[in-house]
Amino acid sequence: MSGAGPREAVFPTRQSLGLMKSKLKGAEIGHSLLKRKSEALTKRFRDITRRIDEAKQKMGRVMQIAAFSLAEVSYAVGGDIGYQIQESAKQARFRVRSKHENVSGVFLPQFESYTKEGVNDFGLTGLGKGGQQIQRCRETYARAVETLVELASLQTAFLVLDEVIKVVNRRVNAIEHVIIPRTENTIKYINSELDELDREEFYRLKKVSNKKQRDTAAADAEILAARQRQAEKDKENGGAAEEPDSVDVLGEQEDTDVIF
Amino acid sequence: MEGLFFNVNGGYVEGIVRGYRNCLLSGQNYSNLTQCETIDDVKLQLAPAYGDFLASLPPNPSTSALAGRMTDKLVSEFRYLIAQATGSTAKFLEYLTYGYMIDNIALLITGTLHERDTRELLERCHPLGWFETLPVLCVATNIEELYNSVLIETPLAPYFKGSLSHQDLDELNIEIVRNTLYKNYLEDFYNFISTHPDFAGTPTQEVMTEILQFEADRRAINITLNSFGTELSKLERRKLYPEFGKLYPEGSLMLSRAEDVEGVALAVSAVGDYKAFFDAVGLSQGGGGGLGGMGGGPADGKSLEDLFYQKEMEMSKLVFTRQFTPAVVYAWMKLKEQEIRNVTWIAECIAQNQKERIGNFISVF
């Protein structure tokens, strides 16, 4: 019984039984809490997965439009304007700030995009021709980058959540399949050991009391025999003999200790 | 009279250009191109016109590589022409390259301002705008040196003189510098056409005047439209308008005062062609929504810029009805450039699977 399954190395005492019982209770509470956390995270995870799917499809469309607007620019300008744009851009107009969101104790990084107004470094590019297309292309690409930032935010959250969910699930499983059975086993072991001790004790007590009874019986028989012998002797002496010393029960003599 | 001796010097060049003109893609070619499924098909369709220039491209080339090779062909043909030309015809052809030189110099000035390695910029320069002293620009390390000792040696020096100082190069937006140069270039070209004894009073003057006036007006209108919402002040804007053209002087003045699209439409309403363009794209009704380019609101999918290109192509086509003039070279170059843009557009549409807009090119033949 106590040997089945792993158990913790404890001495089977009542104290450790109490410890184990409180440990089992703690483990069960922890298990249900972690289980709920894992469910909450999984719900969030599914939500993010769905949004990633949407964002990716949106990104596909937006990037296509953006690439096409670039083609429009090259048609309107009739040449490569990449270098001019690179050189005239000095300040970032489109910026990203990051913040944290707390989902059941997990910090998910979130990126938030914003445009800094008033920064328009290549506003004059294509002044002669194609300027409108360039500005429009810039707006299209700003939207595309916005989608990318959103996607990046979701992907990061996805990765972080994935990791956390794995850890939580591992804990839940560990508690469910290792810690709880082991604690239960230990409790069973302690219980069975304690029972055995009880039985042993009981048996020993019985044995001791048996022995005692036997010893008392033997002593009684001896006394009886001594009395009979005395009586016979008295009869022989004709009653001349003085009264024999009866055992003084209430006297100075001590009883032998009863040992259990 | 001009026809009597023109062929002595310019006959060969003109003949060659008329031959080149027959290589331009026709409407039939374009409709074949739009049917293509891959860039390789486009390459195949272009093979008769571009031949060995496209042969060395890898399978399924990028559209920019394709455009690059097509430009190479234009460049090599133009170089042949300029090598054959003599006298005033040669001078005329040189004028054609100045526009590209302005772009190249603007590129190099940008590079110098940002202290880039100007050598790698040379590779980005347009080959038609190449001149002997262009690499010397790379020697200059600061803008003052560039201005004082290097720019003065370039053919564009007169355009800098008087309108731009070296402080301007440092402080002004490069786009303003570029447009100032271009304005000076257009005025100089116009002056050259009208006053040179070989051209004054010939068909050359007639057609080139019309084309250059159109170009000047187009630039003025574009600059005005594109400057809305930027830090370009009205006074600065006024300085960028070429001082000739159908809009000059009243229209230019009104353009310089225009604050919105309606103002521009009002300014150009004196000239029938431009008024028709603005009406066509619905800008004169004050929408403003259709302002931006080809994807915008206009019902027929044409933007103002498309209409300008269309007009330019039609004018260029008409130039070929004239004889004894080097203006056909100008017309041919414009047509060829448009063709390269068209093919690039079609190739982009095919590459990006956006077939619904593939017909948005301009074909005049």
pLDDT-derived band of residue A245, with 50, 70 and 90 as boundaries?
A: low
- The top-scoring range by mean pLDDT among A33-47, A70-84, B224-238 is A33-47
Query: A132, A72, A144, A76: which is closest to B354 by C-alpha?
Result: A72
Alpha helices (H) along A7-119 = 14-77, 82-88
Complex ipTM > 0.90? no
Q: 3-class SS at A97? A: strand
Q: Closest Cα of chain B to A113: distance in Å?
A: 23
- Which residues 148-187 of chain B have a CB within 8 Å of chain A? 173-176, 178-179, 182
Structure pTM?
Answer: 0.77
Report residue B34 as tokens: 């739009």
Number of residues that make up chain A: 260
Question: Nearest chain A Cα to B115, which residue?
Answer: A87
What is the DSSP annotation of A149-193? HHHHHHHHHHHHHHHHHHHHHHHHHHIIIIIHHHHHHHHHHHHHH
pLDDT tens for residues A98-132?
888 887 778 888 888 888 776 666 667 777 777 78
Q: Please count the helices (runs of H) and the strands (runs of E) in chain B.
A: 18, 0
pLDDT tens for residues B192-215?
999 988 888 888 888 999 999 999
Given the DSSP bridges, would you call strands A94-103 and A106-115 parallel, antiparallel or unpaired?
A: antiparallel
What is residue A4's predicted lDDT score, i.e. its pLDDT? 63
Alpha helices (H) along B2-138 = 2-23, 27-34, 39-50, 52-55, 63-84, 87-113, 118-124
The one-letter amino acid code at B81 reads: L
Q: How far apart are CA A80 and CA B97, in angstroms?
A: 18
Report residue B215 as tokens: 């170009």
Q: Could you tell me what percent of chain B has a pLDDT over 70?
A: 94
B115 interfacial to chain A (CB closer than 8 Å):
no
Q: How far apart are CA A76 and CA A88, in angstroms?
A: 20
Residue A251 pLDDT more than 70? no
pLDDT tens for residues B50-65?
878 888 888 888 888 8
Q: How far apart are CA B102 and CA B185, in angstroms?
A: 9
pLDDT tens for residues B15-45?
999 999 888 888 898 999 988 888 888 888 8
What is residue A155's predicted lDDT score, i.e. its pLDDT? 92
Q: Closest Cα of chain B to A63: distance in Å?
A: 11
Report residue B318 as tokens: 């008409």
Instruction: Give the number of other Cβ atoms within 10 Å of residue A95's Cβ.
Output: 13
Q: What are phi and psi of A258, to 5 degrees?
A: -85, 120
Q: What are phi and psi of B56, to 5 degrees?
A: -85, 0
pLDDT tens for residues A222-244?
999 999 999 999 988 875 555 55
What is the DSSP annotation of B180-214? HHHHHHHHHHHHHHHH-TTTTTSHHHHHHHHHHHH
Q: B107 to chain A: which residues are within 8 Å by CB? A: 83-84
Q: Of the ranges A199-208, A220-229, B115-124, which one carries the lowest mean pLDDT score?
A: B115-124
pLDDT-derived band of residue B249, with 50, 70 and 90 as boundaries?
A: confident
Per the CB < 8 Å rule, is B226 touching A69? no
DSSP A116: -
**Residue of A65, A85, A91, A127 to mutate when probing chain B, most B C-beta within 10 A:** A127
Q: A131 to chain B: which residues are within 8 Å by CB? A: 222, 225-226
Question: Comparing A241 with A12, which gets the higher pLDDT?
Answer: A12
**Residue of B218, B305, B335, B357 to mutate when probing chain A, most A C-beta within 10 A:** B305
Instruction: Give the number of other Cβ atoms within 10 Å of residue A150's Cβ.
Output: 20
Report residue A223 as tokens: 């006394």
Residue B237 pLDDT more than 90? no
Q: B303 to chain A: which residues are within 8 Å by CB? A: 132
Per the CB < 8 Å rule, is B222 touching A129? yes
Residue B259 pLDDT more than 70? yes
Report residue B76 as tokens: 């090599």
Question: Nearest chain B Cα to A135, which residue?
Answer: B292
Q: Give, in degrees to the nearest 5, the angle at Cα B285 between B280 and B287.
A: 95
Beta partners for residue A99, in sequence order: A110
Q: Count how many Cα atoms sit within 13 Å of the Cα of residue A146 in the half-sphere of its side chain.
A: 12
B349 interfacial to chain A (CB closer than 8 Å):
yes
Per the CB < 8 Å rule, is A132 touching B226? yes
Q: Closest Cα of chain A to B106: distance in Å?
A: 9
Q: 3-class SS at B109? A: helix
